[in-house]
Structure 1
Amino acid sequence: MVGEKRTWAVVLAGGVGLRVGADRPKQLLDLAGRTVLERSLAAFVDHALVDDVVLVVPATHRAAVAGVAGDHVLVIEGGAERSDSTRAAVRALREAGAGDGDRVLVHDAARPLVSGRIISDVVQSLRAHDAVALLVPTPDTIVQVDPVTGLPGEPLPRAELRRHQTPQGFGLGVLEEAHRAAADDREFAATDDVTLVQRHVPQARVGVVEGEARNLKITDATDLAVARALVAED
């Protein structure tokens, strides 16, 4: 239908996984018979509310993931930083005909256990919001350390603390506007896109969806072992 909003999933696979200690990018490590990347992509390719999937990879990894992505995924090259890769994805979506009102889910490939419930809730929340954060409580006590001595200060109020997860959701126009403004803001480096929207598009309506502890990010060997144990329990 002409003018119908589409939902695009952007999967960022830029990490090399040095902390995992493997001989290959962490996205290509085995997770119960499938690679981490295959599981992350399948969560979106197989979801009824997602129309198209874009995979963003470094140029050096493009050949390695070619056989993993499959025919239903558009593979593009990213940039040096996460924000560069997101901007590359936005350009690719525009070239593919995406409009301002289209919905974009930005997901880290290193989170292969994202659930269908999470994806559905983020897409649904975008019907009423311009951006959607996926948040989970932190079980740990968090303190801010002195930058000189390294000593801990007073604990931050844990009841008010949350951790960002992905996918985060956006209207394409809002995501594009935030990154356009961020390109001129060298003093601020956001590690996620919702924070970028809140800083550069303050009028944007931001919604919140509850994440899941299972939706962990694989950054080291322990995370990979936990993910394998979780899959084994399914």
Structure 2
Amino acid sequence: MGDLDDLYDLRDEMDRMAQRYEQAERSLEPVSGFDEDGVVTVTLEGDGSFRDVRVTDDWLTYYEPEEIAGVVMTAYTMAASLRLGNWISAAEEAPRPMTRPADTANTPSGRLNEVLSLEHVDISDAGLNAMLADLEHLEVLIDRATTEVQSVASQRASAQDRHGRIEATCDSSGNLVSLDIDPEFAERSTGTTLGQSLTTAIRGAIDAAANPSRDALTELTEFVARMQDPQRTAELFEPRKD
């Protein structure tokens, strides 16, 4: 029973760790990053999602139009770093939670037990062949999904503001990686207009990064769900011959 006990202990520790992370996530407040002159402010929500960019109307007193994209990136990076630091601190300081009982009723075997008494059946020859075929197909789908995930991870998503003069680019995780701002548009814009346009472009890029094509992942998820369907699994068994 030693190996099984170790497995249960690992499950309990992972559950307690997950609860600390969940508590940390819920406790965080929005956080803002600034440039050194306080001209640009980028705010992230407590969960790390992007809220907005704000620029003071006197920004041209401090920066050239060609510099403002880099200033926004600096403020964004500061906000992300502060948020990560707050999350780490909150996770470390969270009280040690009680272990939640395992929900065995909602496991595949638990759901199967609701429609089939496993003590009184054996898997049929046809059922065994069907399971082997499922496993072979599952391996194909996993390979296909892995290739798709690797491809998506290297992708970038971009979006523009409504004027088409600012372009923001995010990585596949929705993190801002670059900004391209037309200097002429920036010079003619008030801080309010510039902040609103930056916010629109960044939100658009984040939304685009969050919705890539993931056909292989969808196919894999649907197939696994079918494999776990208790009624379908019950058909693979036959009454035990005593």
Q: TM-score range by the shorter chain?
A: under 0.3
Return the structure number with greater helix share.
2
Return the structure number with greater strand share.
1
Bigger Rg, which one: 2
